[in-house]
Structure 1
Amino acid sequence: MPGRRERTTGPRRRRWVRGVVWSVAGVLVTAAGLGGVVVWQNTYALREERVVLRHDGHRLEGVLARPETGHGPYGLVVFVHGDGPTDATHDTFYRPLWESFARAGYASLSFSKPGVAGSGGDWLEQSMADRARETLAAVAWARGRTDIDGRRIGLWGASQAGWVLPKVAAADRGIRFVIAVAPAVNWLRQGRYDLLTQLRRDGAGPRETARALRRSDTTLALLRRGASYDEYRAALGRDADMTRRRWRFVTRNHTADAVADLRAMRGTPVLLVLAGHDVHVDAAETESVYRGVLPSSTLQVAHYPGATHSLVDHDLESREPLLTATAILLPRRLYTAGFLADQARYVRRFDSGRGTR
């Protein structure tokens, strides 16, 4: 009868039980197989060592990732994070890069930002100059290790690191190379570009766009006159979306511009990496500035037309279930095609004195 559950007896029940058992077994085997794939895909040809840097009165927790074999001395890539509370591995996102550099004979060094993953301090209390001094301390620490070749230390950084990398390379002329991935040049212009592209992407109409621009202009005027957080809250009302700590961070850094530091670091080889679907950084402006300031003999520009700001394929990043599955099952494929190999190829130029200076 409809809605009535029948009892299962005799041979029929045994067949039903066997079916359930084999179905459960199949699920377990599949899960075990997928588990094996996940473990394998998230195992990297690296030797990771937890390290500590003491700087500015704080203890910074980090990772030194060396090639799987050998004793060095290895060349070294020092990582400089973008915005946000980033740990040493960038939630494991850095590990495919570390592996690529390791296969080129390079170690990688990365520290969790102050206040993140055991590091002391507060990254929102830092200026870009503070971040540069922290990176210089990491380079000095690395030069003190016998397994690191102090003549082959380069920098890798993304996005907000665009204001840190040139400062470090200008201050330490021993930096062998800089890899700048989707770097910003001017804080205020970058913010306006980010706002406009987000509005277009969200399909904002003229009225909503005008309101967002007025809000942005009001915030900028407050920053320029050194307004307090309370003044910002009073002026913006419900549109005030920054916390007190974030307001202080922006107040410290909103005048950041990379041009003077880029001029000061002239002569250091630079790989500029640009994405075709970057909604946060104006890739055309960045390329124009870098080409206008740096000698063509030391600047190499790599374009990835299908990539987003994070160097993930645009089609992949826009499909969240697929993005999540890729991150778990095939993490190396998160990055756009060719990016990892190109990174390794670039640092190999600086082995045994090769490459320009």
Structure 2
Amino acid sequence: MWTLTGALSAVATLGGVVVWQNTYELREEKVSLRHDGKLLDGVLARPQRGEGPFGLVVFVHGDGPVDATQETFYRPLWESFARAGYASLSFSKPGVGGSEGDWLDQSMTDRADEALAAVAWARKRPDIDGRRIGLWGASQAGWVLPEAAAREPGLQFVIAVSPAVNWLRQGRYNLLAELERDGATAQEKEAALRRRETTLDLLKSGASFAEYRTAVGDVGDMTPGRWAFIARNHRSDATADLRAMRGTPLLLVLAGHDVHVDVADTEAVYREVLPAESLTVARYPDAAHSLVDHDLERSDWRLTATAVFAPRRLYTDRFLADQARFVRQLDTGREAP
């Protein structure tokens, strides 16, 4: 009986820790936006205290079927922005959660339209300061943020986390980096590059998914919808849009262990195209592409335990605090860190 009592007490204690660690200093409100004839389901997360008007960070997702909270992992970021006096706004991608449509039907321009629709929606709210709205986006958002900012010069800032510049260069880098990480032989790398060239030739010729399947055989996790999405977007390059958004303050966040994005290429292009006074570069040498600590990401049990018991610690050291500091210092007129 005493053993059972002790076990139940331990479970109750652990349960309390989980609840405490997953409780954030936020006021979350379910919101919706009708855009392009479809209803998008989202969350507005405001600071826990005060009535505003608050500054606002509009979230732009990376690749995949992402819901408004990124399966709760946006909340540590929302909390960090809330402590700097900013609300956060995020909508589930079309076809995810309560949002209508299909995200695989979108181009990067469609995604920029959606981000700007969220900005316009937010500017109608009395608790949001329309002069203090910026965009935060990760990974694939690297092709969305510059276009949106080029079209909306009134944005206060952009935060680009692990963005690539050119879709095709990024794909080649990602392929080789993952092969290298997995210990592939020279012959395996050559075969993968040949397959890639075949795929690119098919994309350039406008081939159907059936033609792609016939040409390569095993298509892996490729689907007709995914093939159409890649065909629609594989020519994406952010350089011209970056040049067009020259005056918008931008925080470029780069990870030291990024197998998805060539961070050296990204930084070189951003520094070449953007004025030095508008660009802040933050490097996190111990981080993976997701800005989770690299060593933590490589251990499944540690990653799971941290996600459950200490989700704020998923992100690499300084990342959350630096995000908040960037927007706070824009408000005070000082240079960003």
User: Which band: TM-score by shorter chain?
Assistant: over 0.9
Larger Rg: 1
* TM-aligned CA deviation for residue 240 of structure 1: 5.4
Give the aligned residue type for 2:223: T
1:33 aligns with 2:13: yes
Alpha-carbon deviations, 1:15-34, whole Å to 9, x = none? xxxxxx11111111000000
Counterparts of residues 294-313 of structure 1 (less than 5 Å)? 294-313=274-293
Alignment match, 1:4: none
| Whole-angstrom CA distance in 2 between matches of 1:205 and 1:288 | 30
Match of 1:87, SS? coil
Among 313, 328, 334, the residue aligned to 1:348: 328
| Whole-angstrom CA distance in 1 between matches of 2:96 and 2:254 | 28
Give the aligned residue type for 2:49: T
Among 298, 304, 313, the residue aligned to 1:333: 313
Counterparts of residues 229-248 of structure 1 (less than 5 Å)? 229-239=209-219, 241-248=221-228
Counterparts of residues 113-124 of structure 1 (less than 5 Å)? 113-124=93-104
Greater shift after overlay, 302-311 or 343-352?
343-352
- Give TM-score, length-normalised by structure 1: 0.93
Alignment match, 2:68: 88
Alignment match, 2:130: 150
Match of 1:238, SS? coil
Root-mean-square deviation (CA), in Å?
Answer: 1.0
In structure 1, stretches of 5+ residues that fail to align are 1-20
Alignment match, 1:69: 49
Match of 1:246, SS? helix
Alpha-carbon deviations, 1:259-292, whole Å to 9, x = none? 0000000010000000000000000000000000
| Whole-angstrom CA distance in 1 between matches of 2:25 and 2:221 | 42
Alignment match, 2:191: 211
| Whole-angstrom CA distance in 2 between matches of 1:209 and 1:57 | 45
Match of 1:247, SS? helix
> Alpha carbons of 1:142 and 1:330: their partners in 2 closer, same or farther (altered >3 Å)?
same
Alignment match, 1:141: 121
1:262 aligns with 2:238: no
Match of 2:63, SS? coil
| Whole-angstrom CA distance in 2 between matches of 1:136 and 1:244 | 29
* TM-aligned CA deviation for residue 350 of structure 1: 2.4
Alignment match, 1:202: 182
> Alpha carbons of 1:354 and 1:151: their partners in 2 closer, same or farther (altered >3 Å)?
farther
Among 286, 291, 295, the residue aligned to 2:271: 291
Q: Is the 8 A contact 1:151 1:176 kept in 2?
A: yes
Match of 1:145, SS? coil
> Alpha carbons of 1:240 and 1:100: their partners in 2 closer, same or farther (altered >3 Å)?
closer
- Give TM-score, length-normalised by structure 2: 0.98
Report sequence identity in percent.
71
Match of 2:73, SS? coil
Alignment match, 1:58: 38
Alpha-carbon deviations, 1:145-180, whole Å to 9, x = none? 000000000000000000000001000010010000
Q: Is the 8 A contact 1:154 1:177 kept in 2?
A: yes
Give the aligned residue type for 1:142: A
Runs of 4+ in structure 1 off by over 6 angstroms are none
In structure 2, stretches of 5+ residues that fail to align are none
Q: Is the 8 A contact 1:152 1:350 kept in 2?
A: no
